[in-house]
């Protein structure tokens, strides 16, 4: 039995690696790629919002329908087959409606698989509380791994051939130092969709090797139909309302990071950016996911020592620190790279802590409702608002004569983070209860 469990752990971990590899391959660079296709800020927002719209729809579909009708591994295979073909196709279309349609198809099929993969893992781990964390960490590793093929894909190979380096060491050094920039980088970004689609098709095939997970049956579906009514009732609790609104602000700020960082890193230093070559942008951004792994390992100890509120405040303030460094110190590339570490702190100390807080603080019969309430903000509304405003802010409001005022742009999320942290510190006052980590109490 232990051998079988070990086999499932390995298979489930690889499932998570591929699942998040897909998302991590196309997301970081799409924000700079869409303007290069001639899409207006409004059209860019529609394309970017396909994901959060699918996330909101997926909260109903995956919870209420998909896992009650289909075997999970078969649903996963179908979703990644069709969704993979759609995202693969994005590498070859350059007009708005085909691009938007393919993105919408991909997102509507991909987003439910984020829940389905969790369901498969929980169904086949003997001790989910102990084993799910390491298995789910495979997803973070997958996101990190997605960045590294592009150090060789987004390369100026004409330059490499012209330099004609001799020997493996010289060749490798030349390749890594010859990243694409400018229009050439934007054109080559289409490979992010091709790589993501290939990974999705691989996961579609691999899904058929996962342990059978039959559809859920039973009478609990009737209770879950009222989940959103029950969730909204929770907002009558003042501390829940405060946390929900701060979550919206933090989700907006985090997605401002994704919207703007790739462009900022790739913009020449003479134009206010950092001047990092194209093949290193995604690896630089993946530093945050490496830090996320390390921070998650320390999260339990942090919660015990600092408590809910202080831990969350640190997570929110991390955004303010990062955007302040972006705004005032872009001339120090090493510091810009180092501050990516803050991304892991922001995620673990706020978003992960919110989920843990809900699970620890509420009885089992309302946990799902409360988690869904925060998912709407983290995966849905916060992302929609960011994706709707950020392209306009970057390309219209703060860019004139082909120069972007990055400093003023980054001070917006910096200020929002400071305000959100203040609101959280002053007004988030959950009443005392036994499940609170030591150090928090109800103060």
162-197 tens-digit pLDDT? 999 999 999 999 999 999 998 999 999 999 999 999
Mean pLDDT of the chain: 88
**Per-residue pLDDT tens over the stretch 335-354:** 999 999 999 999 999 998 99
Q: What is the CATH number of domain 1-154+189-225?
A: 1.20.1250.20
In this predicted structure, what is the pLDDT of residue 433? 61
Cα 160 vs. chain centroid, distance in angstroms? 33
Cβ burial 59-68 (10 Å sphere, 16+ → b, else e): bbbbbeebbe
Query: What stretches of 65-178 show up as alpha helix (H) in DSSP?
Result: 67-69, 72-89, 96-124, 128-147, 150-153, 157-163, 168-176
In this predicted structure, what is the pLDDT of residue 286? 94
Topology of domain 227-443 in CATH is Growth Hormone; Chain: A; (1.20.1250)
| Bridge partner list, 399 | 404
Percent of residues, the chain, with pLDDT higher than 90:
69
C-alpha dihedral over 178, 144, 67, 225, to 10 degrees? -100
Q: Nearest to residue 201, comparing CAs of 76, 115, 111? A: 76
DSSP 215: P
> Out of 199-203, 238-242, 376-380, which region has the weakest mean confidence (pLDDT)?
376-380
Q: How confident is the model at residue 235 (pLDDT cuts 50, 70, 90)?
A: confident
**pLDDT of 224 above 60:** no
**pLDDT of 230 above 70:** no
Q: What is the mean pLDDT of residues 10-29?
A: 96
Q: What is the mean pLDDT of residues 254-265?
A: 97
Inter-residue contact 98 to 240 (CB < 8 Å): no
CB atoms within 10 A of CB 288: 23
CA distance 137 to 346: 17
- Return the higher-pLDDT residue of 124 and 262: 262
In this predicted structure, what is the pLDDT of residue 259? 97
Inter-residue contact 14 to 120 (CB < 8 Å): no
CA distance 137 to 174: 33
DSSP 155: B
In this predicted structure, what is the pLDDT of residue 5? 44
Can you say whether residue 428 is alpha, beta or left, with left for phi > 0 and alpha for psi between -120 and 50 degrees? beta
In this predicted structure, what is the pLDDT of residue 58? 73
Q: Nearest to residue 177, comparing CAs of 146, 155, 158? A: 155
**pLDDT of 249 above 60:** yes
In this predicted structure, what is the pLDDT of residue 72? 87
Question: Per-domain residue ranges for the chain?
Answer: 1-154+189-225, 227-443
Query: Which tokens belong to 28?
Result: 């970081």
Instruction: Reduce the DSSP state of residue 92 to 3 states and report it.
Output: coil
- Return the higher-pLDDT residue of 1 and 59: 59
**pLDDT of 219 above 60:** no
**Per-residue pLDDT tens over the stretch 146-169:** 999 999 999 999 999 999 999 999
**pLDDT of 406 above 60:** yes
H/E element holding 202?
Answer: helix 191-207
**Per-residue pLDDT tens over the stretch 75-105:** 999 999 999 999 999 999 999 999 999 999 9
**pLDDT of 298 above 60:** yes
CA distance 138 to 291: 14
Cβ burial 186-218 (10 Å sphere, 16+ → b, else e): bebbbbbbbbbbbbbbebbebbeebeebeeeee
Q: How confident is the model at residue 234 (pLDDT cuts 50, 70, 90)?
A: confident
In this predicted structure, what is the pLDDT of residue 440? 42
Q: How confident is the model at residue 364 (pLDDT cuts 50, 70, 90)?
A: low
**pLDDT of 391 above 60:** yes
């Amino acid at each position: 039995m232990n051998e079988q469990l070990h086999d499932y752990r390995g298979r489930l971990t690889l499932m998570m690696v591929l699942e998040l590899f897909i998302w991590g391959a196309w997301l970081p660079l799409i924000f700079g790629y869409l303007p290069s296709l001639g899409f207006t800020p409004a059209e860019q927002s529609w394309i970017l919002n396909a994901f959060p719209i699918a996330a909101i729809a997926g909260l109903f579909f995956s919870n209420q329908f998909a896992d009650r009708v289909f075997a999970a591994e078969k649903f996963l295979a179908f979703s990644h087959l069709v969704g993979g073909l759609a995202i693969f196709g994005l590498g070859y279309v350059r007009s708005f409606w085909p691009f938007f349609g393919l993105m919408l198809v991909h997102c509507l099929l991909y987003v439910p698989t984020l829940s389905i993969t969790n369901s498969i893992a929980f169904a086949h781990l003997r001790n989910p509380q102990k084993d799910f964390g390491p298995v789910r960490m495979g997803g973070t590793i997958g996101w990190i791994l997605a960045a590294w093929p592009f150090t060789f894909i987004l390369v100026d190979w004409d330059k490499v051939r012209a330099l004609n380096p001799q020997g493996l060491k010289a060749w490798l050094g030349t390749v890594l130092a010859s990243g694409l920039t400018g229009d050439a980088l934007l054109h080559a970004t289409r490979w992010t969709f091709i790589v993501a689609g290939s990974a999705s098709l691989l996961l579609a095939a691999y899904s058929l090797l996962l342990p059978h997970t039959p559809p859920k049956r039973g009478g609990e579906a009737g209770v879950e139909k009222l989940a959103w009514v029950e969730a909204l009732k929770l907002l009558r609790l003042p501390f829940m309302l405060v946390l929900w609104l701060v979550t919206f602000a933090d989700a907006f700020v985090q997605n401002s990071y994704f919207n703007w960082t790739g462009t900022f890193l790739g913009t020449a230093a003479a134009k206010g950016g950092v001047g990092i070559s194209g093949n290193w942008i995604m690896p630089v951004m993946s530093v945050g996911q490496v830090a996320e792994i390390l921070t998650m390992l320390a999260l339990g100890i942090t919660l015990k020592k600092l408590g809910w509120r202080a831990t969350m405040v640190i997570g929110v303030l991390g955004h303010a620190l990062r955007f302040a460094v972006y705004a005032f110190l872009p001339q120090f590339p090493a510091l810009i790279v180092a501050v990516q570490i803050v991304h892991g702190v922001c995620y673990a100390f706020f978003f992960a802590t919110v989920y843990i807080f809900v699970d620890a603080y509420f009885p089992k019969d309302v946990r799902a409702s409360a988690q869904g309430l925060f998912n709407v903000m983290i995966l849905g509304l916060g992302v929609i608002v960011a994706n709707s405003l950020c392209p306009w802010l970057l390309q219209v409001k703060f860019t004139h004569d082909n120069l972007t005022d990055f400093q003023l742009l980054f001070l917006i999320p910096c200020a929002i983070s400071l305000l959100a942290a203040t609101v959280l510190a002053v007004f988030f006052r959950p009443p005392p209860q036994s499940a609170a980590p030591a150090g928090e109490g109800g103060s």
